[in-house]
Protein backbone atom coordinates (compact mmCIF):
# COMPACT_ATOMS: atom_id res chain seq x y z
CA UNK A 1 0.00 0.00 0.00
CA UNK A 2 1.22 3.45 -0.83
CA UNK A 3 1.08 5.85 2.07
CA UNK A 4 0.04 9.36 1.12
CA UNK A 5 2.92 11.69 0.45
CA UNK A 6 3.37 14.97 2.26
CA UNK A 7 1.93 16.76 -0.80
CA UNK A 8 -1.18 14.59 -0.61
CA UNK A 9 -1.61 15.41 3.05
CA UNK A 10 -1.14 19.11 2.47
CA UNK A 11 -3.68 18.95 -0.35
CA UNK A 12 -6.15 17.18 1.91
CA UNK A 13 -5.54 19.74 4.60
CA UNK A 14 -6.01 22.67 2.23
CA UNK A 15 -9.22 21.10 0.96
CA UNK A 16 -10.44 20.52 4.51
CA UNK A 17 -9.66 24.10 5.56
CA UNK A 18 -11.72 25.36 2.63
CA UNK A 19 -14.63 22.96 3.07
CA UNK A 20 -14.87 23.54 6.82
CA UNK A 21 -15.02 27.30 6.58
CA UNK A 22 -17.32 27.26 3.60
CA UNK A 23 -19.60 24.78 5.35
CA UNK A 24 -19.60 26.91 8.49
CA UNK A 25 -20.56 30.02 6.53
CA UNK A 26 -23.38 28.24 4.75
CA UNK A 27 -24.63 26.85 8.03
CA UNK A 28 -24.72 30.39 9.44
CA UNK A 29 -26.61 31.52 6.35
CA UNK A 30 -29.09 28.65 6.61
CA UNK A 31 -29.75 29.61 10.24
CA UNK A 32 -30.28 33.21 9.17
CA UNK A 33 -27.22 34.35 11.13
CA UNK A 34 -25.11 35.62 8.25
CA UNK A 35 -25.41 39.02 6.64
CA UNK A 36 -25.36 39.35 2.90
CA UNK A 37 -22.67 41.10 0.89
CA UNK A 38 -22.87 41.45 -2.89
CA UNK A 39 -25.58 38.84 -3.10
CA UNK A 40 -23.93 36.04 -1.12
CA UNK A 41 -23.51 35.23 2.60
CA UNK A 42 -20.84 37.45 4.15
CA UNK A 43 -17.91 36.02 6.10
CA UNK A 44 -18.39 37.50 9.56
CA UNK A 45 -14.79 37.58 10.83
CA UNK A 46 -11.79 39.76 10.11
CA UNK A 47 -9.64 36.67 9.67
CA UNK A 48 -9.91 33.25 8.14
CA UNK A 49 -7.86 30.08 8.26
CA UNK A 50 -5.38 29.97 5.42
CA UNK A 51 -3.12 27.22 4.15
CA UNK A 52 -0.83 29.45 2.10
CA UNK A 53 2.09 29.20 4.48
CA UNK A 54 1.87 25.40 4.40
CA UNK A 55 2.79 25.50 0.74
CA UNK A 56 5.77 27.74 1.20
CA UNK A 57 7.18 26.15 4.34
CA UNK A 58 6.81 22.42 4.50
CA UNK A 59 8.21 22.19 8.02
CA UNK A 60 5.17 24.10 9.22
CA UNK A 61 2.93 21.75 7.25
CA UNK A 62 4.63 18.80 8.95
CA UNK A 63 4.25 20.42 12.35
CA UNK A 64 0.56 21.10 11.80
CA UNK A 65 -0.09 17.61 10.49
CA UNK A 66 1.66 16.01 13.45
CA UNK A 67 -0.19 18.30 15.87
CA UNK A 68 -3.46 17.20 14.27
CA UNK A 69 -2.28 13.59 14.51
CA UNK A 70 -1.55 14.04 18.21
CA UNK A 71 -4.98 15.58 18.68
CA UNK A 72 -6.56 12.50 17.20
CA UNK A 73 -4.51 10.32 19.58
CA UNK A 74 -5.56 12.53 22.51
CA UNK A 75 -9.19 12.17 21.50
CA UNK A 76 -8.84 8.40 21.29
CA UNK A 77 -7.18 8.30 24.71
CA UNK A 78 -10.08 10.33 26.08
CA UNK A 79 -12.62 7.95 24.57
CA UNK A 80 -10.78 4.97 26.02
CA UNK A 81 -10.73 6.69 29.41
CA UNK A 82 -14.51 6.98 29.25
CA UNK A 83 -15.10 3.29 28.70
CA UNK A 84 -12.14 1.64 30.44
CA UNK A 85 -12.56 2.11 34.15
CA UNK A 86 -9.35 0.54 35.43
CA UNK A 87 -7.14 2.47 33.05
CA UNK A 88 -9.06 5.70 33.36
CA UNK A 89 -6.51 7.67 35.37
CA UNK A 90 -3.63 6.67 33.15
CA UNK A 91 -5.58 7.50 30.01
CA UNK A 92 -6.72 10.86 31.33
CA UNK A 93 -3.16 11.73 32.26
CA UNK A 94 -2.03 10.68 28.80
CA UNK A 95 -4.70 12.87 27.22
CA UNK A 96 -3.67 15.87 29.27
CA UNK A 97 0.01 15.29 28.56
CA UNK A 98 -0.58 15.06 24.81
CA UNK A 99 -2.76 18.17 24.73
CA UNK A 100 -0.28 20.06 26.83
CA UNK A 101 2.89 19.09 25.00
CA UNK A 102 1.73 19.05 21.39
CA UNK A 103 3.65 21.79 19.59
CA UNK A 104 1.22 23.71 17.36
CA UNK A 105 2.52 26.14 14.74
CA UNK A 106 2.16 29.80 15.61
CA UNK A 107 -1.45 30.88 15.02
CA UNK A 108 -0.38 33.87 12.91
CA UNK A 109 1.02 31.48 10.35
CA UNK A 110 -2.36 29.84 9.86
CA UNK A 111 -4.68 32.81 9.54
CA UNK A 112 -5.02 35.51 6.89
CA UNK A 113 -7.01 38.73 6.84
CA UNK A 114 -10.50 38.10 5.45
CA UNK A 115 -13.11 40.18 3.68
CA UNK A 116 -16.88 39.73 3.76
CA UNK A 117 -16.61 38.30 0.23
CA UNK A 118 -13.71 35.93 0.98
CA UNK A 119 -15.79 32.81 0.37
CA UNK A 120 -17.88 34.12 -2.48
CA UNK A 121 -17.99 32.02 -5.61
CA UNK A 122 -18.11 33.50 -9.07
CA UNK A 123 -21.59 33.45 -10.59
CA UNK A 124 -20.13 33.85 -14.08
CA UNK A 125 -18.25 30.56 -13.79
CA UNK A 126 -15.46 31.10 -16.32
CA UNK A 127 -17.60 31.30 -19.43
CA UNK A 128 -16.63 32.58 -22.85
CA UNK A 129 -19.17 35.40 -22.55
CA UNK A 130 -17.67 36.53 -19.23
CA UNK A 131 -14.11 36.42 -20.57
CA UNK A 132 -14.99 38.51 -23.60
CA UNK A 133 -17.04 40.97 -21.56
CA UNK A 134 -14.26 41.11 -18.96
CA UNK A 135 -11.78 42.11 -21.63
CA UNK A 136 -13.86 45.14 -22.62
CA UNK A 137 -14.21 46.25 -19.03
CA UNK A 138 -10.51 45.66 -18.41
CA UNK A 139 -9.41 47.70 -21.40
CA UNK A 140 -11.64 50.55 -20.33
CA UNK A 141 -10.87 50.68 -16.60
CA UNK A 142 -7.73 48.73 -15.79
CA UNK A 143 -5.29 48.66 -18.70
CA UNK A 144 -4.08 52.22 -18.05
CA UNK A 145 -2.26 50.92 -14.97
CA UNK A 146 -2.08 47.16 -15.42
CA UNK A 147 -1.27 47.23 -19.18
CA UNK A 148 -3.22 45.27 -21.76
CA UNK A 149 -1.16 42.15 -21.09
CA UNK A 150 -1.46 42.49 -17.29
CA UNK A 151 2.25 43.04 -16.72
CA UNK A 152 1.60 46.42 -15.11
CA UNK A 153 4.45 48.37 -16.68
CA UNK A 154 2.60 51.33 -18.17
CA UNK A 155 3.99 54.85 -17.69
CA UNK A 156 1.10 55.59 -15.33
CA UNK A 157 1.89 52.49 -13.28
CA UNK A 158 5.57 53.37 -13.05
CA UNK A 159 4.67 56.80 -11.71
CA UNK A 160 2.68 55.36 -8.80
CA UNK A 161 4.24 55.07 -5.34
CA UNK A 162 3.24 51.36 -5.25
CA UNK A 163 3.61 49.47 -8.52
CA UNK A 164 0.85 47.14 -9.63
CA UNK A 165 1.78 43.46 -9.44
CA UNK A 166 2.18 41.33 -12.56
CA UNK A 167 -1.33 39.98 -13.18
CA UNK A 168 0.04 37.70 -15.90
CA UNK A 169 1.74 35.56 -13.26
CA UNK A 170 0.35 32.88 -10.96
CA UNK A 171 -0.92 35.58 -8.57
CA UNK A 172 -4.61 35.26 -9.44
CA UNK A 173 -4.58 31.53 -8.67
CA UNK A 174 -3.06 32.04 -5.25
CA UNK A 175 -5.80 34.44 -4.20
CA UNK A 176 -9.33 33.56 -3.18
CA UNK A 177 -11.68 34.73 -5.95
CA UNK A 178 -13.81 36.55 -3.38
CA UNK A 179 -10.77 38.49 -2.17
CA UNK A 180 -9.88 39.53 -5.70
CA UNK A 181 -13.47 40.67 -6.01
CA UNK A 182 -13.13 42.80 -2.87
CA UNK A 183 -9.86 44.38 -4.06
CA UNK A 184 -11.36 45.38 -7.39
CA UNK A 185 -14.57 46.65 -5.80
CA UNK A 186 -12.97 48.61 -2.95
CA UNK A 187 -9.37 49.11 -4.06
CA UNK A 188 -6.20 48.63 -2.07
CA UNK A 189 -4.43 50.69 0.56
CA UNK A 190 -0.89 50.78 1.86
CA UNK A 191 0.10 50.45 5.51
CA UNK A 192 -0.61 54.10 6.19
CA UNK A 193 -4.11 53.90 4.73
CA UNK A 194 -3.33 55.76 1.52
CA UNK A 195 -5.05 54.35 -1.56
CA UNK A 196 -2.71 52.42 -3.87
CA UNK A 197 -5.40 51.22 -6.26
CA UNK A 198 -8.83 52.87 -6.67
CA UNK A 199 -12.02 50.92 -5.99
CA UNK A 200 -14.56 50.39 -8.73
CA UNK A 201 -17.76 49.55 -6.92
CA UNK A 202 -19.45 52.75 -8.08
CA UNK A 203 -18.59 52.30 -11.73
CA UNK A 204 -18.95 48.55 -12.14
CA UNK A 205 -21.73 46.09 -11.45
CA UNK A 206 -20.90 42.92 -9.51
CA UNK A 207 -21.03 40.84 -12.68
CA UNK A 208 -18.54 43.16 -14.38
CA UNK A 209 -16.10 42.50 -11.55
CA UNK A 210 -16.56 38.72 -11.75
CA UNK A 211 -16.11 38.91 -15.51
CA UNK A 212 -12.88 40.86 -14.97
CA UNK A 213 -11.54 38.03 -12.84
CA UNK A 214 -12.40 35.50 -15.55
CA UNK A 215 -10.73 37.64 -18.19
CA UNK A 216 -7.59 38.25 -16.12
CA UNK A 217 -7.16 34.51 -15.60
CA UNK A 218 -7.66 33.75 -19.28
CA UNK A 219 -5.22 36.51 -20.11
CA UNK A 220 -2.63 35.21 -17.66
CA UNK A 221 -3.00 31.74 -19.20
CA UNK A 222 -2.25 33.17 -22.64
CA UNK A 223 0.69 35.17 -21.28
CA UNK A 224 2.07 31.99 -19.73
CA UNK A 225 1.98 30.19 -23.10
CA UNK A 226 3.70 33.09 -24.80
CA UNK A 227 6.37 33.32 -22.12
CA UNK A 228 7.17 29.69 -21.27
CA UNK A 229 5.21 27.68 -23.83
CA UNK A 230 2.89 26.04 -21.32
CA UNK A 231 0.04 26.71 -18.93
CA UNK A 232 1.68 26.77 -15.54
CA UNK A 233 -1.71 27.22 -13.88
CA UNK A 234 -4.75 25.04 -14.44
CA UNK A 235 -7.11 26.43 -17.06
CA UNK A 236 -10.53 24.97 -17.75
CA UNK A 237 -12.14 24.94 -21.16
CA UNK A 238 -14.48 27.89 -20.62
CA UNK A 239 -18.19 27.16 -20.54
CA UNK A 240 -19.72 27.88 -23.92
CA UNK A 241 -16.66 26.79 -25.90
CA UNK A 242 -17.88 23.25 -26.39
CA UNK A 243 -20.83 23.50 -28.82
CA UNK A 244 -23.72 23.32 -26.38
CA UNK A 245 -26.12 22.88 -29.29
CA UNK A 246 -24.61 19.59 -30.40
CA UNK A 247 -26.95 16.60 -30.51
CA UNK A 248 -24.30 13.96 -29.89
CA UNK A 249 -22.92 15.78 -26.94
CA UNK A 250 -26.23 15.78 -25.13
CA UNK A 251 -26.42 12.01 -25.48
CA UNK A 252 -22.92 11.50 -24.09
CA UNK A 253 -23.18 13.86 -21.17
CA UNK A 254 -20.16 15.28 -19.32
CA UNK A 255 -16.97 13.59 -18.16
CA UNK A 256 -15.52 13.19 -21.63
CA UNK A 257 -12.33 14.39 -23.18
CA UNK A 258 -13.17 17.23 -25.52
CA UNK A 259 -11.23 18.20 -28.60
CA UNK A 260 -11.94 21.66 -29.96
CA UNK A 261 -10.90 22.17 -33.56
CA UNK A 262 -10.67 25.80 -34.56
CA UNK A 263 -11.40 26.02 -38.23
CA UNK A 264 -11.85 28.78 -40.74
CA UNK A 265 -13.57 28.61 -44.13
CA UNK A 266 -10.23 27.98 -45.82
CA UNK A 267 -9.81 24.67 -44.07
CA UNK A 268 -13.06 22.85 -44.79
CA UNK A 269 -11.24 20.21 -46.78
CA UNK A 270 -8.66 19.36 -44.15
CA UNK A 271 -10.91 18.82 -41.16
CA UNK A 272 -9.94 15.79 -39.07
CA UNK A 273 -12.30 12.85 -38.71
CA UNK A 274 -14.24 11.94 -35.62
CA UNK A 275 -12.41 9.84 -33.05
CA UNK A 276 -14.17 7.53 -30.56
CA UNK A 277 -11.70 8.43 -27.80
CA UNK A 278 -12.76 12.07 -27.78
CA UNK A 279 -15.78 14.26 -28.18
CA UNK A 280 -14.84 16.48 -31.08
CA UNK A 281 -16.24 19.93 -31.60
CA UNK A 282 -15.57 22.19 -34.52
CA UNK A 283 -15.48 25.84 -33.64
CA UNK A 284 -15.98 27.58 -36.92
CA UNK A 285 -14.96 31.05 -37.89
CA UNK A 286 -17.09 32.73 -40.53
CA UNK A 287 -18.75 30.76 -43.25
CA UNK A 288 -17.11 27.39 -42.79
CA UNK A 289 -19.12 24.55 -44.32
CA UNK A 290 -18.80 21.04 -43.01
CA UNK A 291 -17.64 18.68 -45.75
CA UNK A 292 -20.25 16.22 -47.04
CA UNK A 293 -20.08 12.92 -45.13
CA UNK A 294 -18.19 10.15 -46.89
CA UNK A 295 -19.04 6.51 -46.63
CA UNK A 296 -17.12 4.74 -43.88
CA UNK A 297 -15.42 7.90 -42.61
CA UNK A 298 -17.07 9.27 -39.48
CA UNK A 299 -17.21 13.03 -39.78
CA UNK A 300 -17.53 15.39 -36.85
CA UNK A 301 -21.05 16.68 -36.51
CA UNK A 302 -20.61 19.02 -33.56
CA UNK A 303 -20.37 22.57 -34.79
CA UNK A 304 -20.30 25.89 -33.00
CA UNK A 305 -20.05 29.33 -34.51
CA UNK A 306 -19.70 31.23 -31.25
CA UNK A 307 -17.63 34.37 -31.84
CA UNK A 308 -17.16 34.74 -28.09
CA UNK A 309 -15.70 31.23 -27.89
CA UNK A 310 -13.22 32.08 -30.64
CA UNK A 311 -12.16 35.25 -28.84
CA UNK A 312 -11.93 33.55 -25.45
CA UNK A 313 -9.75 30.73 -26.81
CA UNK A 314 -7.56 33.27 -28.55
CA UNK A 315 -6.97 34.93 -25.19
CA UNK A 316 -6.32 31.65 -23.35
CA UNK A 317 -3.90 30.28 -25.93
CA UNK A 318 -2.13 33.59 -26.41
CA UNK A 319 -2.62 33.32 -30.18
CA UNK A 320 -4.05 36.26 -32.16
CA UNK A 321 -7.55 35.46 -33.31
CA UNK A 322 -6.66 35.67 -37.01
CA UNK A 323 -3.85 33.14 -36.47
CA UNK A 324 -5.96 30.71 -34.50
CA UNK A 325 -7.53 28.67 -37.32
CA UNK A 326 -6.04 25.19 -37.50
CA UNK A 327 -5.25 25.00 -33.79
CA UNK A 328 -6.71 22.12 -31.80
CA UNK A 329 -7.19 21.95 -28.04
CA UNK A 330 -7.77 18.94 -25.86
CA UNK A 331 -9.25 18.68 -22.37
CA UNK A 332 -9.07 15.81 -19.92
CA UNK A 333 -12.17 14.20 -18.49
CA UNK A 334 -12.39 16.86 -15.77
CA UNK A 335 -12.60 19.66 -18.30
CA UNK A 336 -9.07 21.04 -17.79
CA UNK A 337 -7.30 22.18 -20.94
CA UNK A 338 -4.27 19.95 -21.27
CA UNK A 339 -2.91 19.84 -24.79
CA UNK A 340 -2.63 21.98 -27.89
CA UNK A 341 -1.72 21.31 -31.48
CA UNK A 342 -0.70 24.19 -33.70
CA UNK A 343 -1.71 24.55 -37.34
CA UNK A 344 1.86 23.89 -38.44
CA UNK A 345 1.60 20.27 -37.28
CA UNK A 346 -2.09 19.82 -38.00
CA UNK A 347 -1.44 16.96 -40.39
CA UNK A 348 0.66 15.04 -37.93
CA UNK A 349 -0.85 12.92 -35.19
CA UNK A 350 -1.24 13.95 -31.59
CA UNK A 351 1.57 12.96 -29.30
CA UNK A 352 2.49 13.25 -25.68
CA UNK A 353 4.64 16.26 -26.42
CA UNK A 354 1.49 18.28 -27.13
CA UNK A 355 0.64 18.31 -23.43
CA UNK A 356 0.87 21.81 -22.05
CA UNK A 357 -0.08 21.38 -18.43
CA UNK A 358 1.45 18.52 -16.58
CA UNK A 359 3.29 17.22 -13.57
CA UNK A 360 7.06 17.12 -13.58
CA UNK A 361 7.10 13.60 -12.13
CA UNK A 362 5.34 11.93 -15.03
CA UNK A 363 7.54 13.49 -17.67
CA UNK A 364 10.57 11.72 -16.21
CA UNK A 365 9.02 8.37 -15.37
CA UNK A 366 9.50 5.33 -17.64
CA UNK A 367 9.59 7.02 -21.02
CA UNK A 368 10.33 3.84 -22.99
CA UNK A 369 7.34 1.56 -22.47
CA UNK A 370 4.52 4.02 -23.01
CA UNK A 371 2.21 4.03 -26.01
CA UNK A 372 2.74 6.73 -28.60
CA UNK A 373 0.33 9.05 -30.41
CA UNK A 374 -3.04 10.00 -29.01
CA UNK A 375 -3.09 6.92 -26.77
CA UNK A 376 0.15 8.02 -25.16
CA UNK A 377 -1.16 11.52 -24.69
CA UNK A 378 -4.37 10.27 -23.10
CA UNK A 379 -2.44 7.90 -20.86
CA UNK A 380 -0.22 10.76 -19.73
CA UNK A 381 -3.21 13.01 -18.99
CA UNK A 382 -5.03 10.31 -17.08
CA UNK A 383 -1.94 9.30 -15.11
CA UNK A 384 -1.47 12.79 -13.79
CA UNK A 385 -4.81 14.49 -13.28
CA UNK A 386 -4.83 18.19 -12.49
CA UNK A 387 -5.51 18.49 -8.81
CA UNK A 388 -6.23 22.06 -8.05
CA UNK A 389 -7.19 23.59 -4.76
CA UNK A 390 -7.30 27.35 -4.55
CA UNK A 391 -3.93 28.33 -3.17
CA UNK A 392 -2.91 24.68 -3.46
CA UNK A 393 -1.09 22.46 -5.88
CA UNK A 394 -1.78 22.44 -9.55
CA UNK A 395 -0.25 19.04 -9.94
CA UNK A 396 1.10 16.61 -7.43
CA UNK A 397 4.75 17.42 -6.91
CA UNK A 398 6.99 14.54 -5.95
C1 LIG B 1 -4.50 53.84 -10.92
C2 LIG B 1 -3.89 52.60 -11.30
C3 LIG B 1 -4.73 51.33 -11.22
C4 LIG B 1 -5.92 51.08 -11.85
C5 LIG B 1 -6.73 51.98 -12.77
C6 LIG B 1 -6.24 49.71 -11.50
N7 LIG B 1 -5.30 49.19 -10.68
FE8 LIG B 1 -5.28 47.30 -9.95
N9 LIG B 1 -3.61 47.75 -8.84
C10 LIG B 1 -2.97 48.94 -8.87
C11 LIG B 1 -1.91 48.92 -7.88
C12 LIG B 1 -0.95 50.07 -7.59
C13 LIG B 1 -1.98 47.65 -7.26
C14 LIG B 1 -1.10 47.17 -6.11
C15 LIG B 1 -1.87 47.51 -4.86
C16 LIG B 1 -1.14 47.16 -3.60
O17 LIG B 1 -0.44 46.17 -3.58
O18 LIG B 1 -1.33 47.91 -2.63
C19 LIG B 1 -3.04 46.94 -7.90
C20 LIG B 1 -3.40 45.63 -7.60
C21 LIG B 1 -4.34 44.88 -8.30
C22 LIG B 1 -4.59 43.49 -8.12
C23 LIG B 1 -3.83 42.56 -7.21
C24 LIG B 1 -4.57 42.32 -5.98
C25 LIG B 1 -3.86 41.39 -5.06
O26 LIG B 1 -4.59 40.65 -4.39
O27 LIG B 1 -2.65 41.39 -4.98
C28 LIG B 1 -5.61 43.16 -8.96
C29 LIG B 1 -6.22 41.79 -9.14
C30 LIG B 1 -5.99 44.35 -9.65
N31 LIG B 1 -5.20 45.38 -9.24
C32 LIG B 1 -7.00 44.40 -10.59
C33 LIG B 1 -7.44 45.59 -11.18
C34 LIG B 1 -8.59 45.67 -12.04
C35 LIG B 1 -9.44 44.49 -12.45
C36 LIG B 1 -8.71 46.96 -12.41
C37 LIG B 1 -9.78 47.59 -13.27
C38 LIG B 1 -11.13 47.47 -12.84
C39 LIG B 1 -7.61 47.71 -11.79
N40 LIG B 1 -6.87 46.83 -11.05
C41 LIG B 1 -7.38 49.04 -11.97
C42 LIG B 1 -3.23 50.01 -9.69
C43 LIG B 1 -4.37 50.15 -10.47
Torsions phi, psi for 53 (to 5 deg): -65, -30
Residues 279, 258: Cα–Cα separation, whole Å: 5
Q: Is 340 in the pocket of ligand 1 (CB under 6 A)?
A: no
Q: Could you please report the per-residue DSSP string of 271-334?
A: PPPP-TTSEEEEEEETT--PPPPBTTB-----EE--HHHHHHHHHHHT--GGG-TT-EEEE-TT
Task: Tell me the whole-structure pTM to 2 decimals.
Answer: 0.89
CB atoms within 10 A of CB 271: 18
Phi-psi region at 253: left, alpha or beta (left = phi > 0; alpha = psi -120 to 50): left
Q: 247-383: what CATH class?
A: alpha beta
Beta strand spans in 18-114 (E): 36-37, 40-41, 47-49, 111-113
Q: What is the pLDDT of residues 221-231, one digit of tens each?
A: 999 999 888 88
Q: Give the C-alpha separation, 304 to 324, whole Å.
A: 15
User: In the prediction, which pLDDT does 361 show?
Assistant: 52
Domain ranges across the chain: 6-113, 128-228, 247-383
DSSP symbol at 268: G
Residues 6+ apart with CB under 8 A from 92: 77, 78, 81
Q: In this predicted model, what pLDDT tens digit does every residue of 327-365 receive, in sequence order?
A: 999 998 888 999 999 887 656 678 777 888 766 555 555
Please identify every stretch of the chain with a pLDDT value under 50, giving residue numbers as ranges: 1, 249-253, 397-398
Do 378 and 161 contact (CB within 8 A), yes or no? no
Q: Tell me which of 145, 152, 219 to substitute to probe ligand 1's pocket, judged by most ligand atoms within 8 Å of the beta carbon.
A: 145
Q: Do residues 215 and 195 make contact, with C-beta atoms less than 8 angstroms apart? A: no
Query: Which among 131, 164, 195 is the best mutation to test ligand 1's pocket, defined by most ligand atoms within 8 Å of the CB?
Result: 164
Residue from 188, 189, 220 to probe ligand 1 pocket by mutation (most atoms less than 8 Å from CB): 188
Superfamily of domain 128-228: Cytochrome c-like domain (1.10.760.10)
- 26-53: pLDDT as tens digits: 999 999 999 999 999 999 999 999 988 8
Q: Is the CB of 144 under 6 A from ligand 1?
A: yes
Determine whether the shortest distance from the Cβ of 184 to ligand 1 is under 6 A.
Answer: yes
142 lines ligand 1 (CB under 6 A): yes
Check residue 39 and give its pLDDT. 95
Name the burial class of residue 345, with classes exposed (0-12), middle (13-18) and buried (19+) by CB atoms within 10 angstroms of its CB: middle
Please give the Cα distance from 82 to 91 (Å, whole number): 9
Asked, colleague to colleague, whether 128-228 and 247-383 share their fold, the answer is: no
Q: Which residue, judged by its Cα, is nearest atom 41 of ligand 1?
A: 142
Is 271 close to ligand 1, i.e. is its CB under 6 Å away? no
Amino acid sequence: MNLLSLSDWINLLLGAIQVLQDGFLHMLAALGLAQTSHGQPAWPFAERLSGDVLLIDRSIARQLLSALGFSVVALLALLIALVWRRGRVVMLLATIAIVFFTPWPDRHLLVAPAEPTSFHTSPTGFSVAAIVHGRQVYEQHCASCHAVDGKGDTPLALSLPVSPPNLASGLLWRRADGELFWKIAYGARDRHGAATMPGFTRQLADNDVWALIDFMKANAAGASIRAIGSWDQPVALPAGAGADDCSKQAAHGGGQRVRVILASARQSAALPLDDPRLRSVILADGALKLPAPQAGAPAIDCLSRSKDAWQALSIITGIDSDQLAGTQLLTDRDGWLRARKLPADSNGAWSESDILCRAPAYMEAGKSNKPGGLDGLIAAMDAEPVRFIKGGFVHATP
